[in-house]
Amino acid sequence: MRILMLCSRFPPAPGGTETYVLELSKELMRKGHQVIVLTSDMYCDTPLIKQKHFKSVFDGMVKRFSSFTVPGEADFPVYPGIGLRALREEADVIHAHSYGCFNTLSPPIIGKIRGIRTVFTPHFHPDYSDWGGKKRMFLRRIYDRTLGCFSVNLVDDVVVLTKFEERLMRESGILRPGTRVHLVDSGVDFERFSQHPNPEAFREHFDIADNEKLILYVGRLAQKKGLEDLIEAAPFVIERFPEAKFVIVGEDMDLGEWMRMEIDRRGLSGDFLLTGFLKQADMLVSAYHSCYSLVLPSEYEAFGLVLAEAMACGKPCVATDVGGIPDVVLDGKTGMLVPPRNPNELALALCRMLSDPETARKMGILGRESVEERFSWSKVAENMLRIYRG
């Protein structure tokens, strides 16, 4: 089978959706199928940062098309070449990703013109999790009622990662009755993350003391990730557990400078470590294995891939009770869930985790078993192939 993957960005550009497309494509190729990825030249979309040279990340074909946008709250990156190439490319299936992106607008048209099966995985984020002010919100609502509905309801199949995602899209009026919807869990490379590398490699590289208990955040340094809440919660945690250290791993998407200033203003410079993006894959795995717990205080996550990665490493999670996170982290069993935008509850949950190492250890064990059972990329690819075949 020849499969076209259409996505707005692709690794080494960072992000959970980007990782999802990469890992699914790799697994489909391992199963003997041909995958062609059509994407843009963006490394970051807000603000737009383009990159001329991307290193190869997998054995399939990747075609990147020039992107541009307009400044301000109307920001909507476009890359016209992607639709023209998809129209010419031979394929059995076109699989588009990421609701609200330019690459999702052409598949319904191409599918009808050429008789090619079209599949759409929205990785949906609701309007309240979007960036910007009233103008941005107004433009988003117009998009939802027009181009958004078009991109979702005129494809052959929609694939959601969680039941919450489907419910949210239906309540928003974007996903309409009659559209075929399939629930397929996201995946994680269990073998990669469950293998126990030298956990000291991460500590040694960043000169972290053995007695420090690491509270790890992995993800983009961006709006809506709850990093402001984490900084506000930190003093309460550190006062009770001076050995706690907050480690922030991820690419700076225009929030890093503010974070450093805020951390310094609060006198927390010695309690936080911002590593930036970890280019060495083994170093990220080492970071997971060396931490006490993962924290993800996002205002919304369609799935939260880093949670599954941490759980594969046997680590408990403290995360917000939003989006698809409750489908990944079972509250009180594999971690703790707290309300979003609530630094006090976040701090209390982190303190409860730090005060009970035995419970944290048991949560980590249950989390590892849950990931092994539910979130293999092989299972994801098999489910997707059934959808491709109709």
Q: Who wins on pLDDT, 44 or 309?
A: 309
Give the count of domains, the chain: 2
**In percent, how much of the chain has pLDDT > 70?**
99
Q: Identify the pLDDT of residue 198.
A: 74
What CATH code is carried by the domain that includes residue 168?
A: 3.40.50.2000
Q: Identify the pLDDT of residue 167.
A: 93
Looking at the predicted structure, is the pLDDT value of residue 242 above 90?
yes
Q: Identify the pLDDT of residue 284.
A: 94
Clarify whether residues 241 and 344 are in a common domain: yes
> Alpha helix locations (H) across 176-269?
190-194, 200-205, 227-240, 256-265
pTM of the model: 0.81
Clarify whether residues 158 and 223 are in a common domain: no
Mean pLDDT in residue range 55-71: 88
Mean pLDDT in residue range 149-175: 95
Clarify whether residues 105 and 210 are in a common domain: no
Other C-beta atoms lying within 10 Å of the C-beta of residue 191: 11
| Cα angle value 141/142/145 (rounded, 5°) | 85
- pLDDT range class, residue 197, cuts 50, 70, 90: low
| Cα angle value 9/7/147 (rounded, 5°) | 115
Clarify whether residues 281 and 218 are in a common domain: yes
Q: Identify the pLDDT of residue 134.
A: 83
Looking at the predicted structure, is the pLDDT value of residue 89 above 80?
yes
Non-local CB neighbours of 264 within 8 Å, separated by 6+ positions = none
Clarify whether residues 147 and 241 are in a common domain: no
Q: Who wins on pLDDT, 224 or 271?
A: 271
- pLDDT range class, residue 219, cuts 50, 70, 90: very high
Clarify whether residues 180 and 237 are in a common domain: no
Clarify whether residues 215 and 70 are in a common domain: no
118 vs 154: CA distance, rounded Å: 9
Q: Identify the pLDDT of residue 72.
A: 76
Clarify whether residues 9 and 104 are in a common domain: yes
Clarify whether residues 218 and 114 are in a common domain: no
Q: Identify the pLDDT of residue 158.
A: 98
Clarify whether residues 154 and 241 are in a common domain: no
The tens digit of pLDDT for each residue in 249-298 reads 998 988 999 999 999 999 999 999 999 999 888 999 999 999 999 999 99
Domain boundaries, position 292 = 190-374
Looking at the predicted structure, is the pLDDT value of residue 165 above 80?
yes
Clarify whether residues 171 and 154 are in a common domain: yes
Strands 317-320 and 293-296: parallel
Handedness of CA 183, 189, 195, 198 (dihedral sign): negative
Q: Identify the pLDDT of residue 278.
A: 92
The tens digit of pLDDT for each residue in 320-377 reads 999 889 999 999 999 999 999 999 999 999 999 999 999 999 999 999 999 998 898 9
Q: Identify the pLDDT of residue 195.
A: 78
The whole-chain average pLDDT of the chain stands at 93
Looking at the predicted structure, is the pLDDT value of residue 221 above 70?
yes
Unique residue bearing structure tokens 């709006």:
223
Mean pLDDT in residue range 310-317: 97
138 vs 35: CA distance, rounded Å: 37
Q: Identify the pLDDT of residue 214.
A: 98
- pLDDT range class, residue 2, cuts 50, 70, 90: very high
Clarify whether residues 251 and 146 are in a common domain: no
Looking at the predicted structure, is the pLDDT value of residue 168 above 70?
yes
Looking at the predicted structure, is the pLDDT value of residue 70 above 90?
no
The tens digit of pLDDT for each residue in 90-138 reads 999 999 999 999 999 999 999 999 999 999 999 998 877 776 788 888 8
Other C-beta atoms lying within 10 Å of the C-beta of residue 146: 10
| Tokens of residue 20, six digits | 């999802």
Q: Do 6 and 103 form a contact (C-beta atoms < 8 A)?
A: yes
